[in-house]
Amino acid sequence: MIIFMVRGNFKKYKLIMSNQEAKSKSFIAFAKIFKSRGVNGIWLHILNIWFDIIRGIDTVERYKSDSIKKTYVTTSQSSISRSIKYAINYLEKNKDLKNLNFVELGAGKGKVIIVLKELILNKFKKHINILAIELDEDLCNIFRKNLIISGFSEENNKNLILKKNINFNKKIKVKLINEDIQSKGSQNQIKEITKFGNTIYYCCDSQTKESLMNLFAQLIKIKDIKSRQNTLFIYSNPRYLSELTSIFRNEVKLIRHEIGSPQKSYAIINIL
User: Residue 215: is it exposed, middle or buried by C-beta count within 10 angstroms (0-12/13-18/19+)?
Assistant: buried
Strands 160-162 and 153-154 come out as antiparallel
pLDDT digits (tens, 9 = 90+) for 157-194: 789 998 776 677 777 899 999 999 999 999 999 999 99
Model confidence band, residue 227 (pLDDT cutoffs 50, 70, 90)? low
d(CA 106, CA 168): 28
pLDDT for residue 22 is more than 50: no
pTM more than 0.75 = yes
**For the chain, counts of helices (H) and of strands (E):** 8, 9
Residues ≥6 apart with Cβ < 8 Å to 84: 112, 115, 116, 119, 200, 202, 234
Model pLDDT, residue 10: 40
Model pLDDT, residue 73: 57
Describe the crossing of helices 111-119 and 77-94 by its angle, rounded to 10 degrees.
Answer: 50
Q: Residue 90: name the closest of 186, 233, 223, 266 by CA.
A: 233
Model pLDDT, residue 19: 45
Comparing 241 with 5, which gets the higher pLDDT? Answer: 241
- Computed over every residue of the chain, the mean pLDDT equals 84
pLDDT for residue 18 is more than 80: no
Describe the crossing of helices 184-193 and 209-222 by its angle, rounded to 10 degrees.
Answer: 40
